[in-house]
Structure 1
């Protein structure tokens, strides 16, 4: 029998203990490896429902108040959720932080996108569909024509359009939205072409009306379809713009309107690029501004105290101009309209004409532990943000006084946010202020009684375009 010294026994005991500890360490490491944090935190798709194949949840979105659709989704899934609309898998985000992530801080990961048929109709080289240097160049050109230093010279011309528009309504029952579309269209054409292209404007209008009818049609380019007629109208628009460009080049003079900005030789835009962007600007400037003005008329009619406050503010401006012997509005006058400006802001918040905007992920993106796959559409939900009680107490209440203080950052985005925010927002606000000055000081209107409903297509509007009876004050 072999006996070991006490020292050897201790050494063997220590070695066995080390072996046991190493075995335990390896076993623990193996378990941790299978459940390591990197795996546990691997991004997953946001929660949500994708609806029916291809159709998805498009009908649910467009058949009800978008407030209801988005609110139900947000309540069930949280501030980020997936869905499937307009034939596309989508991730919708409804927090100010997420909207800023998509539109500002990580905007390079999300490209602007529209359905392909809309790009064909408006023009693939229009500013909406661009990124990078070309987008930056277009944005600079549009801003140069629409910045305050440029549009302050147009106040008198816009006022003339507003006065003619309102005078034509006197004693009539009108469809407010349709009439506001005409007003916004005329201001847009004035801003693009100035006052010197009268001979082409009526022809251009007629072509655009035909194009507009096919905008929300099925993209079937066969003779007799609305889409086919719209694409034919677009070709005619190209021809008209080419005639205007040729005429201007012969005159060898500088123009201060948007077309003049696009035509600068050093910018070297092609005729096709100019045409695409002119059609795009008309599209962007018309329906959205007209929708806001329609809602303003409705909210003022429903809130007599607010209407009275706006009227008193505008009458004070009118009296001061009579004392000075000045009959026309100027840029400085529009800076004396804080109450009217708050009404515009609150209308844009409550109505939220643009419920959301489309972006597309250019690569897989990880946001707060959720995967946004490459190629998926991403929709920042402006409407949800504008109607969140965390951002605006009693959000369904029309209360312009809430804009006596600046809203919290990234909670009010009526013109979008980031490099793709609307470059024509100053012009839009100016044409609203000018119209509201004459509307409230010289006219009265009454709602029809059927204005309680809302219709969608694609913008939210009062039912039937808000029919009103309109007359000159006596």
Structure 2
């Protein structure tokens, strides 16, 4: 394939080479059409049995039959789609994406209504294929008493009182990662994923399951490759390979569970909390939640760290302020004659670095929105949101609104010297389904940034810039960078 100023041309040999792929492409398109038709039929059926509408639907457009406005949302920067809709229809509007009729809300008050005050009317929802892949008993897909029990367990493992004992282990993982980057050109996002993965495994399994970890990693990598594939469970497809890997992941975690029970070991990691007899979780429930936590802990944290590296590189004065803060921590420890290694108390002195993390999460808005499903007809602001429809609080819109943040496109950590207005900053979501691992995520970022800024320099591989969305917002091509140790 060649690019020219006149357009894109495809050679005859390339066309011939593509012919064997046409049946597969046709199968994918037919599968997608079948999925959208089935979903549309289901939605029409539920609409006919719902309570007669006495209120109008929110304003908006539903796009093409079956397809809706999916391509408009996912083919470019979602900011463009959201901004056009907000300008035309206001902060509450209807649309149709991924085969589902939806209402999108982009005000802090509406987000709070959906996620906090009336959360019982809006259940978390994911495509069925994603639930199968992660595990239908995982915390993301639950409501009610079972969800509350799972959340309590995860919080016990990830609240400050628990994770303060993990600083030394996380620091060892960070130092190992940075050492492996020295003098190399790396894909920053991929390396940050590896770092976040290793921290997640340490927090879940501790240090005593080394014999199983490498096999577990390889299975998870296969699972991950199929996560965003078409849900066609035929031999040779990414989805089929992913489902086989998911089954093997279950076997590995089951072996770890058996080993711990034989040793009668008491551990303070997440797996240990899940295994406590008073929680009465089945092995299947434990496996689903372990896989789910790995998924949640990896890509989002890695995305934020990738953006931090980019923003610091583009803002030398901010990088200098962070470096000076971290160097002062190192100097004070050396003068005191105490441990050179970081402690929990040290991370509480990283106020400038913490503001950089907050501002990065606001500007980058890794999760543009979240999905909820209406469990019964809901009235909001004089509009009807019918049962079965999806509701999407738009975090990205809220984080980039000039009503909430002055000069919102500017990267300015100093804005967090004052607490933001309520419900305007939600990088970890809000309400009972907000991320229970947010304290661990912040800790692993602070530890890595301490050693990164005090010991290393980095530079971009070229002048290209841009954002890609798939599904997380990322710098183009994962941000290729060269890292070198300071001399």
TM-score normalised by the chain length of structure 2 = 0.88
Whole-angstrom CA distance in 1 between matches of 2:216 and 2:245 = 10
Against the structure 1 CA distance between its residues 451 and 324, is the aligned structure 2 distance closer, same or farther, given a 3 Å change threshold? Answer: farther
Aligned to 1:119: 131
Residue 47 in structure 1 maps to residue 59 in structure 2 = yes
Deviating 4+ runs (over 4 angstroms): none
* Structure 2, unpaired ranges of 5+: 1-52
Q: Match for 2:179 among 161, 167, 174?
A: 167
* Structure 1, unpaired ranges of 5+: 1-40
Aligned to 2:305: 293
Q: Match for 2:444 among 431, 439, 456?
A: 431
Aligned to 1:278: 290
Q: CA deviation at 1:450?
A: 3.8
Asked whether the 8 Å contact 1:142–1:423 carries over to 2, the reply is yes
Q: Match for 2:469 among 456, 459, 471?
A: 456
Q: CA deviation at 1:42?
A: 3.9
Whole-angstrom CA distance in 2 between matches of 1:230 and 1:88 = 25
Against the structure 1 CA distance between its residues 94 and 277, is the aligned structure 2 distance closer, same or farther, given a 3 Å change threshold? Answer: same
Aligned to 1:260: 272
Q: Match for 1:183 among 183, 195, 198?
A: 195
Whole-angstrom CA distance in 2 between matches of 1:84 and 1:451 = 34
Residue 58 in structure 1 maps to residue 70 in structure 2 = yes
Q: Match for 1:106 among 114, 118, 127?
A: 118
Whole-angstrom CA distance in 1 between matches of 2:434 and 2:452 = 29
Residue 398 in structure 1 maps to residue 444 in structure 2 = no
Q: CA deviation at 1:451?
A: 4.3
Residue 346 in structure 1 maps to residue 359 in structure 2 = yes
Matches within 5 A, 1:121-160: 121-160=133-172
Whole-angstrom CA distance in 2 between matches of 1:399 and 1:451 = 23
Q: Secondary structure of 1:46's partner?
A: coil
Aligned to 2:219: 207
Whole-angstrom CA distance in 1 between matches of 2:240 and 2:477 = 27
Q: Secondary structure of 1:262's partner?
A: helix
Q: Secondary structure of 2:177's partner?
A: helix
Write out per-residue CA displacement over residues 234-291 of structure 1, whole angstroms, 9 at most, x where no aligned residue: 0000000000000000111211000000000011100100010001000000000000
Whole-angstrom CA distance in 1 between matches of 2:56 and 2:129 = 32
Q: Secondary structure of 1:187's partner?
A: helix
Matches within 5 A, 1:278-427: 278-325=290-337, 326-427=339-440
Deviates more, 1:178-187 or 1:81-90: 81-90
Whole-angstrom CA distance in 1 between matches of 2:302 and 2:464 = 17
Whole-angstrom CA distance in 1 between matches of 2:291 and 2:140 = 11
Asked whether the 8 Å contact 1:365–1:371 carries over to 2, the reply is yes
Whole-angstrom CA distance in 1 between matches of 2:54 and 2:90 = 19
Q: CA deviation at 1:132?
A: 0.3
Asked whether the 8 Å contact 1:451–1:466 carries over to 2, the reply is no
Q: Match for 2:98 among 71, 82, 86?
A: 86
Against the structure 1 CA distance between its residues 237 and 345, is the aligned structure 2 distance closer, same or farther, given a 3 Å change threshold? Answer: same
Aligned to 1:469: 482
Q: Secondary structure of 2:235's partner?
A: coil
Whole-angstrom CA distance in 2 between matches of 1:53 and 1:201 = 47
Q: CA deviation at 1:59?
A: 1.0
Q: CA deviation at 1:56?
A: 1.1
Aligned to 2:7: none
Write out per-residue CA displacement over residues 352-411 of structure 1, whole angstroms, 9 at most, x where no aligned residue: 000000000000000010111000000000000000000001000000000000000000
Whole-angstrom CA distance in 2 between matches of 1:102 and 1:268 = 31
Aligned to 1:443: 456
Asked whether the 8 Å contact 1:356–1:383 carries over to 2, the reply is yes
Q: Secondary structure of 1:92's partner?
A: strand
Asked whether the 8 Å contact 1:159–1:329 carries over to 2, the reply is yes
- Bigger Rg, structure 1 or 2: 1
Aligned to 2:228: 216
TM-score normalised by the chain length of structure 1 = 0.91
Aligned to 1:12: none
Asked whether the 8 Å contact 1:450–1:463 carries over to 2, the reply is no
Q: CA deviation at 1:64?
A: 0.9
Q: Secondary structure of 1:211's partner?
A: helix
Residue 232 in structure 1 maps to residue 250 in structure 2 = no
Aligned to 1:11: none
Whole-angstrom CA distance in 2 between matches of 1:447 and 1:301 = 8
Asked whether the 8 Å contact 1:451–1:462 carries over to 2, the reply is no
Aligned to 2:10: none
Q: CA deviation at 1:57?
A: 1.0
Write out per-residue CA displacement over residues 118-137 of structure 1, whole angstroms, 9 at most, x where no aligned residue: 00000000000000000000
Aligned to 2:29: none
Asked whether the 8 Å contact 1:451–1:467 carries over to 2, the reply is no
